Amino acid sequence: MAAKTHSIFDPAIIVPAIGESFKKLNPRHMIGNPVMFVTEVGAVITTVLMFSGGQGASFGFLLQITLWLWFTVLFANFAEAMAEGRGKGPGGYPPQGQDRDDGQPLPGRRPGGADPVEHAA
């Protein structure tokens, strides 16, 4: 049975992914990806600086940097949520029906995960 493929523009995936992208702003989730965590911390710092006077930087500059940082974090979270919604991300892996729970090795594999070695004649 072939796996059902979902369109990237399927509203059943996009709408929940938008909500998930905001839920994933939780630092406990973001710490799993250190680069995006640092980007989020930078976004928070520039947001605070923007509303507290900016320490000498122009408001327009801080606004631009803040918007780019928040856009980066939200887009990364949205892309991750889309992948999970399509069954290709960490939340949906392995795809349903493709895992093996009975303790038996997959066909063509030796116990312990070693691949069979074919010797050329």
Question: What's the pLDDT tens digit per position in 109-119?
Answer: 665 555 555 55
Query: Phi and psi (nearest 5°) for 100?
Result: -130, 110
pLDDT of residue 93: 47
pLDDT, tens digit, for every residue of 42-74?
A: 999 999 999 998 778 888 999 999 999 999 999
Q: What is the mean pLDDT of residues 64-85?
A: 93
Residue 19 lies in a domain: yes
Whether 50 and 66 have beta carbons less than 8 Å apart is answered as yes
pLDDT, tens digit, for every residue of 16-32?
A: 889 999 999 999 989 99
Whole-prediction pTM: 0.64
Residue 5 lies in a domain: no
Q: Rounded to an integer, what distance in angstroms lies between the CA atom of residue 41 and that of residue 63?
A: 16
Residue 22 lies in a domain: yes
Give the residue numbers spanning the domain of 50.
11-91
Residue 121 lies in a domain: no
Q: Tally the domains of the chain.
A: 1
Q: What is the mean pLDDT of the chain?
A: 79
